[in-house]
Amino acid sequence: MDLSIVIALYNEEESLPELLGWIDRTLASQKLIYEVILVDDGSTDSSWEIIRIEAEKYPAVRGIRFSRNYGKSAALYTGFEAAQGNVVITMDADLQDSPEEIPELYSMIVNDKFDLVSGWKKRRKDNRLAKNLPSKIYNATARRVTGIKLHDMNCGLKAYRKEVVKNIEVYGEMHRYIPYLAKNAGFRNIGEKAVKHQARKFGKSKFGMDRFVNGFLDLMTLWFLSKFGKRPMHFFGTFGTLTFLIGFGTSVYLIADKLISQANGLKFRPVTDQPLFYVSLVALIIGMQLFLAGFLGELVSRNSSERNHYKIKERLH
């Protein structure tokens, strides 16, 4: 199969008929064997009934229905597992992503040999204050941390080689960072394409402002796991040792200063009367805790079934 289009959706009953008709018209002249996988993430409206009706109209349509709302990452992961196409394209179901972008995205994977191509909503149709400014800050931070120079990492319209989606695990709310997951899995040929962004036609956005806070926390999680996931002692041990040494050195200095002053008959201040002494004790305790956290992390890592799991690109016999 040439192409799989994976669409995660939640309460999009009004958009689905128009979206599927648009996809069908766009791909009618492309001579591609394709499938459309609709993953219903526990919709409470009639989205699933619409999917059943549209599947009878369009043989390429397949449906997967969750028993409850698990989130976009779970829906994409399930869609990726079911996808059979050599190229996989993801898009949103709210008609803000244009299916007319699909042929060129497909071409960039097949002909230009990209592993992943991310859409860039260069001219957004959202509220400028509520979404544009936070989005720019979020993407600037993501570029800095991940080293991937994408203008819009969270754009739902993306294209992938089949091998990419079969070798990454999208979980939690990590769908925002699929390019980073792909990079960490060894797929580094990542491109970008400016895409049309449509104004929302039906309903309202399912995401609030909290996604920017959650997105930043998820980014820090991914960064930490990619850097120290298999060697936590390198992180916790380093900071723990430094903190312990600072606390220990400060304590020794305060005690030595008191003893020298006392031996020379000089006026001195009792060590326990100095706030810096208690700060140093706290540093000693925190340093020990960080070091022990790294040690426990190493024990967990060494007993993990994934400790020697590596993705092999190819072999020569």
Across 139-149, average pLDDT: 84
Query: Please, what is the Cα angle at 180 between 143 and 303, to 5 degrees?
Result: 130
What's the structural domain count of the chain?
Answer: 2
106 and 195 in a common domain: yes
Residue 4 has pLDDT above 60, yes or no: yes
Sequence-distant (≥ 6) Cβ neighbours of residue 174 within 8 angstroms: 73, 181, 218, 222
Q: Same structural domain for residues 10 and 134?
A: yes
In a domain, 238, yes or no: yes
Q: Report pLDDT for 106.
A: 97
Asked whether the predicted pLDDT for residue 22 surpasses 90, the reply is: yes
Taking the C-alpha atoms of residue 168 and residue 166, their distance in angstroms, rounded to an integer, is: 6
Q: Answer yes or no: is pLDDT of 104 > 60.
A: yes
| Number of neighbours of residue 142 by Cβ within 10 angstroms | 23
Least confident piece of the model among 100-104, 135-139, 190-194: 135-139
Residue 163 lies in a domain: yes
Judging by DSSP bridges, how do beta strands 158-161 and 87-92 pair with one another? Answer: antiparallel
**Token representation of residue 273:** 């009367």
pLDDT tier, 141 (very low <50, low <70, confident <90, very high otherwise): confident
- Tell me which of 134 and 113 has the higher pLDDT: 113
Kindly state the average pLDDT of the residues 189-203.
Answer: 83
For residue 313, tell me if it sits in a domain. no
Pair (151, 41) in one structural domain: yes
Domain edge (last residue) among 228, 244, 262: 228
What is the pLDDT, as a whole number, of residue 206? 56
In a shared domain, residues 277 and 194: no
Share of the chain above pLDDT 70, in %: 86
Average pLDDT rounded to a whole number, residues 26-38: 94
pLDDT tens digit sequence for 232-277: 888 888 999 999 999 999 999 999 988 888 888 888 888 888 899 8
- The answer to whether the CB of 35 falls within 8 A of the CB of 120 is no
For residues 215-220, average pLDDT: 74
209 and 238 both lie in a single domain = no
Tell me, yes or no, whether 53 and 169 share the same domain: yes
Residue 311's pLDDT is what? 59
Q: Of the residues 172, 198, 228, which one is the last residue of a structural domain? A: 228
Shared domain check, 117 and 53: yes
Q: Is 312 part of a structural domain of the chain?
A: no
Same domain, 210 and 249: no
Domain shared by 108 and 151, yes or no: yes
Question: Is residue 195 situated within a structural domain?
Answer: yes
Q: Which of 186, 208, 228 is the last residue of a domain?
A: 228
**pLDDT, the chain, mean:** 86
Residue 117 near residue 109 (C-beta atoms within 8 A): yes
Residue 311 covered by a domain: no
Domain with residue 44: its CATH number is 3.90.550.10
Residues 115 and 38 in one domain: yes
Same-domain check for residues 107 and 194: yes
Do the Cβ atoms of 22 and 99 come closer than 8 Å?
yes
Range of the domain at 253: 232-302
Q: pLDDT at position 80, please?
A: 96
